[in-house]
Structure 1
Amino acid sequence: MRTTYISKAAQQIKPSGIRKFFDLASTMEGVISLGVGEPDFVTAWNVREASILSLEQGYTSYTANAGLLSLRKEISAYLNKRFHLDYAPDDELIVTVGASQALDIAVRAILDPGEEVLIPEPCFVAYEALVSLAGGKAVHIHTNAERGFKASAADFEAVLTERTKAIILCTPSNPTGSVYTKKELEEIAAFAEQHDLIVIADEIYAELTYDEAYTSFAEIAGMKKRTILISGFSKGFAMTGWRLGYVAAPAYLRDPMLKIHQYSMMCAPSMAQFAAEEALKNGLEDVEKMKKSYRRRRNVFVDSLNEIGLDCHQPGGAFYAFPSVKKTGMSSEQFAEELLIAEKVAVVPGNVFGPSGEGYIRCSYASSLEQLQEALVRMKRFVQKTGAVQ
């Protein structure tokens, strides 16, 4: 009899720290949740209607593995108009089951056992797990608030080895909301070129930037050939439950990802694809309205966090604030747990996003302004009780 039937990789990955606090909060009444990164907007009616119409017309079968060609054409046109990117619908795009699946097939397509991926952190909790499940090794790059939680080419250089294969770069960042400037991306691009690295650019929050024009990593001169661009409809288009994303990459990178996608997923749901097509055709005004609302909430929420003594840098994108709780003398996890119990406000401890996140908490401001203001009242009351923040 075997001692275990579970693979070492599955045994070693940790459950999501985000879900831990979300699940705990869901058992309590009167909780204001700033935990899960999900828009509070409902998917636009015309987008929902397009999905319903596809069902009524009987479009319930498989699509092409890479997704509806009509949708890939819309994605191609959108990327060109919005981000000045040129991807061929036929052989440089795959429609996936969320951006998460796109990340999964990306790392599995490029990594051999033991190869290393450089990941600035704090970072999205899935990166390390997906790299490990693909047989690779995640190498974390420490960042700090003083530098806007962004890594430099010098930071990457310091941990480079002969096994380094790729970089995962998320901009705007989850959990910090930091956005890399064009100049910063150019420096990282030069490093990637010098050392022949692939860059997996997670740009799922690209639609949600507030202060400066957004630059896609693939837009940097010479970078399309070594970039796997990950995006989707969950965040900017308020379509989290539809589970629809996409990957854009040159054919030599896209083709092996498509093979993995064929065997592991077949294709994304057809009704979600019809919805996404409508979102790109007639939903961009809704995206802009949501973006303006998030920007207003960001300004109110971040300013208020600083006023109550939770120092917070100004996030340039996404819908997260990442304030410091160091003045309270509590760890990230202790602060989050005690805040939830005492004041019924759910946040995510920063340490779940990597060691650089210790001493911080992630707060999603994708909630109504009224809820955010009530959460701030409760948080102020809580930090004043500690006596560490006046």
Structure 2
Amino acid sequence: MSKTYRIACIPGDGIGPEVTRQARKALDVAANRFGFSLDWQDYPFGAAHYLRTGEIFPESALEEMGGCDALLLGAIGDPRVKPGELERGILLTLRFRFDQYVNLRPALSFPRVPLPVPLPEGRRLDTVVVRENTEDLYMGLGGRAEGGSLSFSVDARRAPYELKGELALWTTPPCPLAAQVAVSTRPGVERIARYACELAVRRGEDRVTLVTKANAVPHLYGFFEDETARVAAQYPGLKLEKENVDACCYHLVRRPDAFGVLLCPNLFGDIVSDLLAGLSGGMGMAAGGNIGDGLSMFEPVHGSAPDIAGTGRANPLAAILSGELLLRHLGEHEAADAVGGAVTAYLEESDPEGLPFELGGTSPVERSGDEVASRIAG
């Protein structure tokens, strides 16, 4: 009997529904070819739903999604809604509720996709950022004060622990101030370091590069270094290398293919992964996954692009490649290989006009999705 996976889907805002439709098409074709099925569970959350109902993300939907095998997300964000309102209410809610502690961001070079920094002959870009996704400055701990005195409570929950406390700060003489607290814990660092090491082993590599800044921020990132070194020592034959984040960015723009697995604290991973997206051909080719031990979420990282929504100019390849990550997460590796191979074949075989607008062609989003799906079918 074939296996059925329940997949939650939030198409979201802007071009989200357009690119998600093409990703679903590709995944359904792959599922049919390799003998399993996808039971799509659709959810309406995003700007239109919020403006119509005032509801961002009800608890009942979170409970339902917890029973799914994965989540495909299109894009979140709309100029009619205050910046951050939907992103915090949907994206961060999902990441923290389901403890998606890995943000996975592959950066690959593809045929016919121009790179801003050309690679040496015979070389290709195949780097992956493993970003810690639940700690560091992104825990939302902080505040602002106009009168020189600031205090706030700390109350954060992650799967391995609860963090509680009080912080009080003041200036003499009084002046406006702001504070944002960054936290790293042994359980938090240990699990992301282990994920990075195991990924490097699966990729057949002999090193993991930790992106750090312990020379300037010794308590926070020195701790991250120490805990990562303790984990990496458990993997014989795997070397842990360290690069300060500024030096790492410098090396990337000179030799984008210089690294394999990059392990990053949350803040640095956010920055470095977008740099690599630019170096590998643009956001329209950038897939992403938010992975944990429960529900994991897969999404293109290009945002909702409301300026081109409805024009047919959206590039669906990042969404389709995010679907490839989703299939790999489910353990359907043959199907995932077929999806990734179909994207490569489409780019290799199409005439220039047949490529997405972002890549210099004139292919509407639907046609690009059809081209990929036909190659998955075989």
TM-score range, shorter chain: under 0.3
| Greater percentage in helix | 1
More strand by share: 2
TM-score normalised by the chain length of structure 2: 0.28
Query: Could you state the TM-score of these two structures normalised by the residue count of structure 1?
Result: 0.27
